[in-house]
């Protein structure tokens, strides 16, 4: 399984001050920051999105959460 850590943040090419939206049906992430990258639950604030999905249904669920978030923010 992929772990959310500083190595993954570097691979995503996120920089200090960027915001990352993390969606995972199995785990809730409550990090303050990793390598200066902050975490958000608002898609409009996100500079990147990381989806953890173990099946097509969980992937669909994650995309629906993003679409719902975008719809409520506009």
Q: What is the pLDDT of residues 60-73, one digit of tens each?
A: 887 887 788 777 65
The string of pLDDT tens digits covering residues 12-31 is: 899 999 999 888 777 777 77
Contact 22, 46 (CB under 8 A): no
The DSSP H or E segment spanning 56 is: helix 56-73
Secondary structure tally for the chain: helices H, strands E? 2, 4
- Which has the higher per-residue pLDDT, 6 or 54? 6
d(CA 74, CA 72): 6
pTM over 0.95: no
Query: Which residue matches tokens 């990352």?
Result: 20
Residues 6+ apart with CB under 8 A from 41: 21, 69
């Amino acid at each position: 399984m992929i772990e959310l850590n500083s190595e993954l943040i570097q691979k995503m090419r996120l920089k200090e001050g960027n915001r990352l939206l993390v969606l995972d049906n199995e785990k809730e992430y409550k990090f303050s920051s990793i390598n200066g990258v902050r975490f958000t639950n608002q898609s409009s604030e996100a500079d990147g999105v990381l989806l953890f999905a173990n099946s097509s249904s969980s992937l669909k669920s994650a995309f629906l959460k993003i679409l719902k978030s975008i719809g409520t923010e506009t």
